Structure 1
Amino acid sequence: MSIFMGWKLHGDGKTLAPGEVVEPDERLTWPRTAGIGAQHVIAMFGSTFLVPILTGFDPSTTLFFTALSTALFLLINANALPSYLGSSFGFIAPVMAVTAAHKGLAVASFGIMVTGALLALIGLIVHFAGAKWIDIIMPPTVTGAIVAIIGFNLAPSAWKNFKAAPVTALVTLLAVMLIAVLFRGLLGRLNILLGVIVGYVFAVSQGQVDFTAVKQAAWFGLPQFHLPQADLSVLAMFLPVSLVLVAENIGHVKSVSLMTGRDYDEHIGTALMADGIGTFFAGLGGGSGTTTYAENIGVMAATKVYSTAAYWCAALFAFLLSLCPKFGAIINTIPGGVLGGVTTLLYGMIGMLGVRIWVDNKVDFAKSVNMTVGAVVMVIGIADFTFAIQGVSFNGIAIGSIATLVIYHGLKALGRLRGTVAGDDYIHEDPETESSEPSQQRR
């Protein structure tokens, strides 16, 4: 498919029947495609700007590199894998540790750049070694758990924003839900964007929006770029982040495969390479590291529009916004209540995609291995277990992803040694239980 002109027009490009989907190689009319792209921008803005706010990076620079990384991702994946790359939360802890040690953001950028290079190398190995082994390492039990915690781990963030202005959050959430069911076609599928607008207008009427920063911001301005400063001592804090990015990217590819009904396993390597290259350039120029965004998975799940053309529009919008500090300031005025309302739906939808992986693949939770993996990992992810080793902090997603792999494969290995496990995804009970429970029979 040609990168820019190869999308087929879906039907007449204007009307969509209920349940109809727009495939990655299709598009609606350009104004409608741009509308979906704008919805993706809205979905990623809150999280993308949160990272530079917490770490000290320039928001416009960060936004610029999310646009660049997204464009690189689409190009490297031959315009086949719909994804937006936003700021990765995995870099917050090491960047803050570096700045707390008074080493400066340039040193932190070096850590981000090297982490990106490592991720690209991992992707290169996966690409040439083949991706079929991923199914062995990450069967549905594992994949579903990782995808689920990527969404449910964000629940505390949604609640924090929700309780900041409960009425505004409720108005936003109700608007998003009602628009989805009261309107058909594209209007109904723009429920997230329109719901945010409704919530924002309500917030303005309640005096919850401060426009001071908007008045002070310039209309045009280049992002603030800076080069990294090499310091090998910080790499121990940054390189483990690559494990988080691998888990997030694989979970993203699996989620997109589930939604579109397409097998994207052959793109796992190129997805990792693309994210690694994007993160490398972000570190090189003074931006935050990137990752495939769970928020945009939620948008695709809600709209059923998987067109990569929408992501090109989103990248273009993000690039233009990175050159307009005033518009970025306007987006930054979206209050927590509005974000809390819309993310209550979005984050929950992401988590439920993981549950759907279990359901669609008929994962049997009567089996102890599957139940143990789901039970332990969901608590780790939702509670956001954290610990630090040598100043490197691991959050619930990282710990949960590692725990999923260790528990699943560890218990299966022990079960095989004992002769109690046979076949993938199943652990077999004693003969008495098997005879009374057909769903637990040995396979």
Structure 2
Amino acid sequence: MQKKPIYIGIAIVLSLLAIFYFFSRGGVEEGFEIMAKVNQGDFRVEITTSGELQALNSVEILGPSEARRYRVGNITIESMVDEGTIVKQGDFIASLDRTELFGRLEDRRIDLEQNKALYEQTQLDTSLVLRQERDNLINMEYEVGAMKLILDQSQYEPPAIIKQNEYNYEKAKRDLEQAKERYRIKTLQEKARMVEVSARLREVQLEVSQIEEVLKKFTVTAPQNGMVIYYQGRGGKIKEGSQISSWNPVVATLPDLSSMQSVTYVNEVDIRKVKSGQKVELGLDAFPERNYTGEVLKVANVGQQRPNSDAKVFEVIIKVNESDASMRPSMTTSNTIIIEKLENVLYVPLEAINVMNDSVNYVFLENKKKQEVKLGLANANDIVIEMGLSEGQEVYLSTPAWSENTSITLLEELNGKRNPELDFSVPITDSEIQTMNTSKNGRIRNQ
């Protein structure tokens, strides 16, 4: 009784071995071949890729580019709203570190106070100098009058005294004219000094006010309504704690969500098939139930190597035709680029096609015949049959057991159009092909 389970186990093992041997020896060769029908209908050649949504147009949110005028190179972002925040025009976006520019402002304010003091001092000096010159002119005019009176009263004096009084009068008039000219020149000089001091004061005042205006821009606000998307810089996304350059002070972007595009990459093998204007069917991984349409907008002329990949790819920009509030930048899209579309054609699975010597394409028919076919366009799964089959026929997807020593029925329409070295116009069996392959002068060479 104890040996009964052992016998049962041995029997099971032997049964399994028998089944395996039966199948490996082709015991079901005739019953388990996979077949497919020749279908007729619309046929599409397409390329499927995944992409990333981006806004077709976006507005950059800028920090104070004017900061570079005051030798402020890099600015640190102290605080910033979360990415994806919906904002309205004028809403807070980010606050930037003002420390360095505050130092520049304090220096200019000190200059402003010094220039104000210099302006007031120059005003006082000018007033004193010109007042002295005016007083001197008044005294000169009195002197001329006195000399004129003396001359008038000396008409009865000796001629020598009259002559002396005339000289004194003329000298007084000449001194008065010289004093007037000196006053004119002095006025111009003092006016020039005031203009120079005033210009310098206005320059420093303007610079102080400009720095104060620039400091206001260190609180960055939204230029319009939209969704905040962090800017992708060389070192990664610009976020709180990052530094921006005053030469490229982009803090974030506000994409126009009403017009979107999908950025995808096509490998170098398929890129020759992709052209601008081709139709595209799109889907969102986040919302698989929704379908959209698009159009190839741009195909890159130069390839690039993607990270962690040895294959070269080309960037393809696809414009999304529809507008949907569900679409967000950076969402993953599935893109089906329709390369070509044929209507009402025959096609079979790619697995049904057999090739002999790169010259003859044929299929195995359900009536145990080999039939040559003329092929057309192919996609990832099926291939168009231009000649040799009809709708509803069944073909084998694998090589059947009866394939040996079965001749290929050739298409008369292809006579003379095959490879000249391999062309033939009568059916040839597999055994005849084997015989020909043994001879260097045979008409057919194996692949």
- TM-score interval for Structure 1 and Structure 2 normalised by the shorter chain: under 0.3
Q: Which has the higher contact order (CA 8 A, sep 6+)?
A: 1
Tell me the TM-score normalized by structure 2: 0.17
